[in-house]
A and B are shown apart, each in its own frame.
Chain A
Amino acid sequence: MRNWTRLVQNEWLKLTKKRSFWVPVAMMAAIAALITFMLYKFSSTVSELGSGASYLAGMWGASGMGQFIAILSIVGTAGIIAQEHAQGTIKFLLIRSRSRGEIFAAKYAAVLLYTLMMMLVAGAALYVSGGLAFGFGSTGEQWLNALREGAYGFVYSTVYATMAFMIGALTRSTGVAIGVGLAGTMFGGLMVFKDFYKYVLFPNANLSVYSTMGPPLPGMSVGFSLIVLAVYMALFLAAGYTVFRRRDMA
C-alpha cells in the first residue's frame, strides 16, 4: 500500500509539475470571485442570502459553478493516460515491477485528487468572495447545506471526469477524451421525458436538483441516482481497465 501511494505521488507530480497546472487553478478562483461580484452588484435575489456559507451552498453544486468545476477537472485530467502514449513514456511506465492494474488505479486516484482539489479551490474562492459580499456570519445549518452541495458537486464532477478517463484509456487521445467529457456535461442539461431516461447517466449526475427542483423524472430519488451513477462508473472503470490491461503497447 505504501508503495502504491508512491505511484499516486508520481501521477500527482506529473499533473502538477507542468507549468500549465496553475492556469485552471487561477481561472477557477478568478471566475468564482468574478461571478460573486456580478451577482452582488446586479442581482436582487442573492443579496437576501445573508452569509458566505449559504452562498456557497447555492453555488458549489452542479446547478451553480459545478459544471465549470467539472469542465476544468476534465481538461486537467483527461490526458493522464493518453499523454503517456503521446510522449512515449508509457514504455517507461509499464516495464517496472508494477502491474498494469496498480498503475491504472494510481492514475484514477490522481484524477479523483485533482477533481477534489478543484472543488476545494472553488469552494474556498466562493466562500471568501461570498463572505466579503454577504458577510461571514454563517449558521451550522447553512454549513451543513454547503457541505452537502459540495459533496453533490464532487459526485457530479467525478462522474464526468471518470467518463473522460475511460475514453482516454480506450482511445489514447486527449482530445477525444476532453471532447466526450465536455459533451457529457452538456447532455446533463437535456431532458427526455420518457421513463427509460431515468436509467441514463445524464439526468442522475446532478444531485442538487433534489433539494431545489425535486426529482427530474417520476420515481427518481437521491438514492436511486447514486445507484445508477455507481453502476455507470463501475462500467466505465471496468471498460477502461480491461482495455488498458490487455493492450499491446506498440
Chain B
Amino acid sequence: MTTTQSGKPAQAGGEEPVLRLRDVSKTIGRKTIVDKLSFDVRRGEIVGLLGPNGAGKTTAIRMMTGLIKISEGDVRIAGRSIRSDFKDAIVQVGAIIENPEFYPYMSGYDNLKQAARMTDSVTEERIAEVIALLGLQEALHKKVKAYSLGMRQRLGIAQALLDRPKLLILDEPTNGLDPAGIREMRDYLKKIAFSEGIAVLVSSHLLSEIEQMCTRVVVIQSGRLVTERAIGASGIGQERPELRVRVDRLGEAKQVLEQLDGVEVKETREAEREVIVLAADGEMTTLIDALRGADIAIYRISETKKSLEDEFLQWTGGNQIA
C-alpha cells in the first residue's frame, strides 16, 4: 500500500487530495469565525459545503482562495500551500465567489480575455472551447451589463474553467437562477466533474440542489465541522437502516419482532399499521421468516429515507439555513 507524505494510508489511487484543509481557523479580534476546519476534496468529487447562516462557509471559501488571510492551519491545493506557495496553489483553482462579477461595460468576450491575460497558458483555442462548452456564442459580444443572471453564471463558470483548474470552487452557484438555470448548472457541473475529472466544491443554501448534485456533503456550524458524509449511499455510517414494515396485525408483529436479536423495534404506527424497526441487511430473512411463521401478512417493507433537509436540521439543531 502506498502512503502519502503524512504517513496515512493513501486513498483514491494514492493521489493527494485536490483540496485539503487542515485545522483552518479564522479569528478576527477575539471572535473565531472558522474554528479548526479540516476536510478533503478528491478528484472527480462534487462536495457540498453546507451550514446555517453565519456558519463560516463564505469565510472558509475566501480563505481557500487567498482573499482573506488564514489565521491558523493551512489549505493545500494539489499539495501546494495557499499560504506559502500562493501562485502555484491558486493556478489550480477556478472559482466564483458569491455573485459572478464582471466589468459591466465590457463584452463577455473582453471579460474572458481579461481573465486569459492573467494566466500564462490560455490560448485563443481554449477560450473558444469554454465558450462552446457553456453555450456563450450568441451573447459573446454583448456587454455584460445586458446579461441575465443565468448568462453571468455561465460566463462565471467559463472564466473559472479557462486555465483548466483541478479544483472548481463555487459559492452559492444557483443563487437567483430559475429552475431551468439550476438544472442547467447542475448538468454542467456533473459533466465537468466526471468528464474532465476535476474536483468541485459547492456551497449552497438549496439543500435539495446539493442532494442532487453532490457526492458528499460537509456540514459546518459556528465555524466547526459538524458532520461529513456521502450522499446516496444510505449504508455508510448507518449499519442498521430504518425500515417500515406494514403488516395486517400490528400488535402481534411487534411482539414477534421484539424477540429477534439484531432487530430493534423503534415504534409502531397504528394508523398506517406499520412497525418501524432498525435492522441490518443480514437480518432481513430472519425478520420475514419470523413474521411469516406467526402467519402475519406483510404488505410492504420500505426504508425510511430522511431527506437531506431533515438530516441537516438534525445536525445543526434546526437553525435557519442560508
Q: Give the B-binding residues of A (Cβ under 8 A).
A: 3, 6-7, 9-10, 13-14, 17-19, 87-89, 91-99, 246, 248-250
Could you list some 5 contacts between A and B, CB below 8 A? A10-B118, A95-B65, A97-B119, A99-B86, A248-B68
B288 to chain A: closest CB distance in Å? Answer: 57
Contact A95 B95 (CB under 8 A): yes
Encode B160-187 as 1/0 by CB contact (under 8 A) with A: 0001000000000000000000000000
Q: Which residues of B contact A14 (CB under 8 A)?
A: 103, 106, 114
The tally of residues in B whose CB lies under 8 Å from a CB in A reads 32
B residues 189-244 near A (Cβ < 8 Å) are: none
With contacts A13-B114, A95-B66 known, what are 15 further pairs, Cβ within 8 A?
A10-B114, A14-B103, A17-B103, A19-B105, A87-B103, A89-B102, A92-B159, A95-B65, A95-B95, A96-B118, A97-B90, A248-B68, A248-B69, A249-B67, A250-B67
Contact B110 A13 (CB under 8 A): yes
Selected contact of B68 from candidates A7, A99, A249, CB within 8 Å: A249
Contact B97 A97 (CB under 8 A): no
Nearest neighbor of A91 in chain B, beta-carbon distance: B97
Contact A250 B62 (CB under 8 A): yes
Nearest neighbor of A21 in chain B, beta-carbon distance: B105
Compute how far the CA of A225 lies from the CA of B62 in the bound complex, rounded to whole angstroms. 44
Compute how far the CA of A99 lies from the CA of B66 in the bound complex, rounded to whole angstroms. 10
Q: Which residues of A contact B59 (CB under 8 A)?
A: 250
Selected contact of A17 from candidates B69, B91, B105, B118, CB within 8 Å: B105
Nearest neighbor of B64 in chain A, beta-carbon distance: A95
Nearest neighbor of A250 in chain B, beta-carbon distance: B68
With contacts defined as CB atoms under 8 Å apart, how many contacts are there between chain A and chain B in the complex? 78
With A88-B98, A95-B90, A248-B69 as known contacts, state yes or no: A10 contacts B117, CB within 8 Å.
Answer: yes
Encode B82-117 as 1/0 by CB contact (under 8 A) with A: 000011101101010111011111100010001101
Question: Is B120 on the interface with A (CB-CB < 8 A)?
Answer: yes
A89 to chain B: closest CB distance in Å? Answer: 5
Compute how far the CA of A249 lies from the CA of B68 in the bound complex, rounded to whole angstroms. 6
Q: Which residues of A contact B163 (CB under 8 A)?
A: 97
Q: Which residues of A contact B88 (CB under 8 A)?
A: 97
Q: Which residues of B contact A95 (CB under 8 A)?
A: 65-67, 90, 93, 95, 97
Q: Which residues of B contact A9 (CB under 8 A)?
A: 117
Q: Which residues of A contact B103 (CB under 8 A)?
A: 14, 17, 87, 89
Contact B110 A17 (CB under 8 A): yes
For B66, B97, B99, the residue with the greatest tally of chain A CB atoms inside 10 Å of its CB is: B97
Compute how far the CA of A91 lies from the CA of B119 in the bound complex, rounded to whole angstroms. 15
Compute how far the CA of A7 lies from the CA of B88 in the bound complex, rounded to whole angstroms. 18
Compute how far the CA of A35 lies from the CA of B148 in the bound complex, rounded to whole angstroms. 47
